[in-house]
């Protein structure tokens, strides 16, 4: 459990590269891999940093290049990060012993909410947040995207349901002549109904399997494309067993309902009408 | 009987299947319309918002987008003066954005502060009261949420506090200002409590030194058509600043929201595929059922072209009916989906993702019509190549 204190100021960093001239007393920095690639820098190179575009004059040596942890909140921003030791950064900003935020680890059993409330009461100028509150706040964007996806999914499911009903109806109606002949030779209505229903179930089941395969292929394509597009290891499309189960059950149920309705209409029609002579 | 009558009669023979097909096409058409609105609406809505007050160019600290970071640029007054002397520039103003606090009773509320130059402002529309005068260092403008939060109205005094120091638990600057007006800030998110003062006052509340800093400069070019060229010129004139035309900012924004644009293309394409499958399947089965009728028509002298035309009309009629219903459905769902997406934290309240425009409706309608026509081609081909004698013989037995 931890809480964080945050002051409402942030820094702007500007970068400019210089050659490979590492020197003593120059601060070390760690560069994000993509930034190092974009600037053509490697470990040991020197670059210049500054808090604003008009004051990029402090040399620093690249001591490490790191791969940042994939963060969905960052991918669209395409921001590039540099890590410095805290005193180096504070000195560069001209504000020694000032920080943007810091984390507090609590003793076991101490409630983060209570600790945050106590800290908030003790002084003003900062705000204490629990880790859970920060996670909740920073995930708001994804909650909106998730709601949007759910709404689109509902529309897609309705469209698919109507499509499936329509196709099933047409599929069963295609069997009018077969049904008429079966009725002429004495096959019972119940048997015809059962046969048509079984056929609808088989079509729905095969469709579900093919659809699941298509979904996996589409998911694979989506992940491959967006991972390359955003240069990240994030997973964009995740097909869980629950989703597959939902899709298969829904399509089977819809297929059976549609097949059942169509088959019921067919077996209630007189054989001569089915034969086209009624 | 006209081609349309024949087509409608054909569709009316099987009401349930026609109704289901129309429903399917309507949902697909609604999705298509929504996606057309989404793909173009984002950038149009953003461009309109940027041009709300006619300012076509923004200058920001190097490497930043407007209000994307808390970086500021120095010497704002001098740059503004230089810009105002440019014969192509009609108006230019500096803006400083910063966090500050307002006193409410014995507590503080967090606000967002805009420092503006009232003679050249592109950030707000006056809703009540008066605008700030150029040198009004005692006045303040409030957004409605800020007025509610501070419990203040036009003519009231409010106390604003800046530069809180957590180490000594005191505010460095505190000013009592008179509310001149209530305004709607163009780029505020829903419910954002914002206040505005003249630039000098906000600068003094934001920073300890008397630096003339601003978050961004906005420029209004006399001739809209000249704005891109002026932006290029300013870029070379101010190499330490970022200079953005509206097109540049729209391009950045599009890159950030590329996901939604691509999603709209994928879902729009899927909608079209569903429409094609539905119309083609329905017409193919209908044509197969009516082969006898078609063969009879051919036998009495009706030309192949007429048969093909009638099948195509049937496909288009089905699409038009479904598309009409889909348009109404699409406008409704667009409103619902827009309500979801505009709840993004920090998104300006004036922004929309789904913007119903005549061109969106026209594009979706035309695409749907072409789709309906194309979907009818295969069944029309089947109808046209039906062997007359064999079909009639089969029908007779």
**CA nearest to A168 within chain B:** B17
How far does A123 lie from chain B, in Å, by closest CA? Answer: 6
CB atoms within 10 A of CB B113: 24
How far does A102 lie from chain B, in Å, by closest CA? Answer: 13
Partner-chain contact B64 A8, CB within 8 Å? no
How far does A42 lie from chain B, in Å, by closest CA? Answer: 22
Partner-chain contact B285 A169, CB within 8 Å? no
How many CB pairs lie under 8 A apart between chains A and B? 114
Break chain A down into helix, strand, coil percent, rounded to 5. Answer: 55, 15, 30
Partner-chain contact B274 A174, CB within 8 Å? no
Tell me the range of A52-61, A99-108, B187-196 where mean pLDDT is highest. Answer: B187-196
Partner-chain contact A8 B99, CB within 8 Å? yes
Q: How far is CA B209 from the centre of its chain?
A: 40
Cβ B119 vs Cβ B206: under 8 Å = no
Partner-chain contact B20 A169, CB within 8 Å? yes
Partner-chain contact A144 B99, CB within 8 Å? no
Partner-chain contact A144 B259, CB within 8 Å? no
The pLDDT score that the predictor gives to residue A65 is: 94
- Which residues of chain B have a CB within 8 Å of the CB of A7? 166
3-state secondary structure of B211: coil
Residue by residue, DSSP assigns B59-70 as: EEETT--TTTSS
Mean pLDDT of A211-221: 92
Q: What integer best gives the mean pLDDT of chain A?
A: 82
- Which residues of chain A have a CB within 8 Å of the CB of B281? 166-167, 170
The pLDDT score that the predictor gives to residue B210 is: 63
How far does A75 lie from chain B, in Å, by closest CA? Answer: 9
Rounded-to-integer distance, Cα B196 and Cα B93, Å: 14
Q: Give the start-to-end residue ranges of the domains of chain B.
A: 3-49+256-396, 63-239
Partner-chain contact A125 B166, CB within 8 Å? yes
The structure tokens listed for A10 are 């942030």
Break chain B down into helix, strand, coil percent, rounded to 5. Answer: 55, 20, 25
| pLDDT 10s digits, A147-193 | 888 888 888 888 888 887 887 777 777 788 888 888 889 889 899 99
The pLDDT score that the predictor gives to residue A241 is: 93
Rounded-to-integer distance, Cα B101 and Cα B113, Å: 9
Partner-chain contact B71 A12, CB within 8 Å? yes
| Residue numbers in chain B where pLDDT is lower than 50 | none
Q: How far is CA A133 from CA A126, A139, B215, B342, B344, in A?
A: 15, 10, 29, 22, 18
Mutate to test the interface with B, among A75, A137, A170, A223 (most CBs of B within 10 A): A170
**CA nearest to A6 within chain B:** B166
Instruction: List Cβ neighbours of B149 (8 Å cut-off, separation of 6 or more).
Output: B102, B104, B109, B111, B193
Rounded-to-integer distance, Cα B22 and Cα B334, Å: 20
Across the interface, of A10, A124, A163, the residue whose CB is closest to B164 is A124
Q: In this structure, are strands A127-130 and B124-129 parallel, antiparallel, or unpaired? A: unpaired
Mean pLDDT of A19-44: 80
User: Which of A2-6, A240-244, B170-174, B393-397 has the weakest average pLDDT?
Assistant: A2-6
Cβ B112 vs Cβ B175: under 8 Å = no
Q: What is the pTM of this model?
A: 0.73
- Radius of gyration from C-alpha coordinates of chain A: 32
Rounded-to-integer distance, Cα B39 and Cα B269, Å: 12
Partner-chain contact B281 A78, CB within 8 Å? no
Cβ B329 vs Cβ B30: under 8 Å = yes
Across the interface, of B21, B271, B343, the residue whose CB is closest to A144 is B343
Rounded-to-integer distance, Cα A9 and Cα B365, Å: 50
- Which residues of chain B have a CB within 8 Å of the CB of A54? 62, 73-74, 240
Rounded-to-integer distance, Cα B163 and Cα B98, Å: 10
The pLDDT score that the predictor gives to residue B312 is: 86
- Which residues of chain A have a CB within 8 Å of the CB of B164? 124-125
Is the per-residue pLDDT at A246 higher than 80? Answer: yes
Instruction: List Cβ neighbours of A179 (8 Å cut-off, separation of 6 or more).
Output: A192, A196, A266, A267, A271, A274
**What is the number of H-type helices and E-type strands within chain A?**
10, 8
Cβ B252 vs Cβ B269: under 8 Å = no
The pLDDT score that the predictor gives to residue B89 is: 93
ipTM confidence score = 0.75
Tell me the range of A60-74, A201-215, B30-44 where mean pLDDT is highest. Answer: A201-215
Partner-chain contact B274 A159, CB within 8 Å? yes
Rounded-to-integer distance, Cα B330 and Cα A60, Å: 56
Partner-chain contact A155 B27, CB within 8 Å? yes
The pLDDT score that the predictor gives to residue B58 is: 92
Is the per-residue pLDDT at A12 higher than 70? Answer: no
CB atoms within 10 A of CB B63: 16
């Amino acid at each position: 459990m931890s809480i964080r204190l945050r002051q409402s100021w942030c820094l702007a960093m500007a970068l400019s590269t210089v050659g490979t001239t590492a020197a003593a007393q120059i601060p070390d920095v760690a560069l994000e891999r993509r930034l190092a690639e974009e600037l053509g820098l490697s470990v040991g190179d020197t670059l210049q940093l500054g808090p604003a575009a008009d004051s990029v004059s402090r040399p620093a040596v690249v001591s490490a290049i790191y791969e940042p942890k994939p963060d969905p909140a960052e991918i669209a921003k395409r921001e590039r990060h540099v890590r410095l030791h805290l005193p180096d950064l504070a000195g560069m900003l001209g504000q020694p012993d000032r920080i943007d935020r810091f984390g507090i680890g609590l003793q076991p059993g101490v409630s983060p909410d209570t600790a945050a409330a106590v800290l908030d009461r003790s002084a003003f100028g900062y705000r204490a947040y629990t880790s859970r509150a920060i996670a909740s706040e920073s995930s708001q964007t994804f909650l909106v995207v998730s709601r949007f996806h759910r709404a689109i999914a509902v529309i897609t499911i309705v469209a698919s349901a109507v499509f499936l009903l329509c196709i099933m109806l047409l599929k069963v109606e295609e069997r009018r002549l077969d049904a008429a002949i079966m009725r002429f030779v004495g096959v019972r209505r119940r048997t015809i109904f059962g046969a048509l229903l079984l056929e609808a179930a088989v079509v729905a089941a095969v469709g579900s399997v093919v659809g699941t395969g298509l979904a996996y292929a589409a998911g694979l394509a989506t992940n491959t494309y967006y991972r390359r597009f955003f240069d990240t290891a994030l997973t964009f499309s995740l097909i869980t067993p629950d989703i597959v189960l939902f899709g298969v059950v829904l399509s089977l149920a819809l297929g059976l309902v549609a097949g059942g309705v169509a088959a019921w209409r067919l077996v209630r029609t007189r054989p001569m009408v089915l034969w086209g002579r009624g | 009987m006209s081609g349309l009558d024949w087509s409608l009669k054909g569709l009316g023979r099987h009401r349930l299947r026609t109704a289901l097909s129309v429903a399917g096409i309507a949902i697909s058409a609604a999705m298509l319309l929504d996606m057309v609105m989404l793909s173009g609406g984002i950038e149009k809505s953003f461009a309109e918002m940027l041009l709300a007050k006619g300012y076509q160019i923004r200058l920001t600290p190097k490497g930043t987008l407007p209000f994307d970071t808390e970086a500021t640029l120095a010497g704002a007054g001098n740059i503004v003066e230089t810009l105002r002397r440019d014969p192509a520039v009609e108006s230019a103003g500096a803006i400083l954005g910063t966090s500050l606090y307002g006193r409410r009773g014995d507590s503080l509320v967090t606000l967002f502060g805009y420092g503006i130059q009232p003679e050249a402002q592109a950030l707000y529309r006056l809703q009540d009261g008066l605008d700030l005068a150029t040198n009004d260092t005692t006045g303040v403008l409030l957004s409605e949420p800020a007025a509610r939060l501070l419990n203040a109205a036009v003519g009231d005094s409010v106390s604003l506090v800046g530069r809180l120091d957590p180490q000594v638990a005191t505010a460095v600057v505190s000013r009592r200002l008179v509310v001149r007006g209530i305004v709607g800030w163009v780029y505020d998110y829903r419910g954002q409590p914002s206040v505005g003062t003249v630039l000098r006052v906000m600068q003094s509340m934001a920073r300890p030194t008397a630096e003339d800093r601003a978050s961004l400069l906005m420029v209004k070019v006399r001739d809209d058509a000249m704005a891109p060229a002026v932006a290029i010129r300013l870029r070379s004139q101010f190499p330490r600043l970022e200079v953005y035309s509206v097109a540049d900012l729209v391009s950045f924004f599009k890159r950030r929201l590329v996901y939604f644009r691509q999603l709209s293309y994928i879902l729009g394409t899927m909608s079209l595929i569903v429409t094609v499958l539905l119309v083609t399947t329905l017409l193919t089965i209908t044509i197969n059922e009516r082969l006898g009728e078609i063969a009879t028509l051919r036998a009495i002298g009706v030309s192949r072209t007429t048969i093909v035309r009638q099948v195509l009309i049937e496909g288009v009629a089905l699409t038009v009916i479904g598309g009409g219903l889909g348009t109404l459905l699409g406008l409704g769902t667009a409103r619902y989906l827009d309500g979801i997406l505009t709840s993004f934290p920090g998104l300006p309240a004036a922004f929309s993702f789904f913007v119903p425009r005549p061109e969106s409706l026209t594009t979706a309608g035309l695409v749907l019509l072409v789709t309906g026509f194309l979907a009818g081609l295969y069944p029309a081909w089947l109808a046209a190549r039906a062997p007359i004698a064999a079909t009639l013989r089969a029908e007779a037995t």
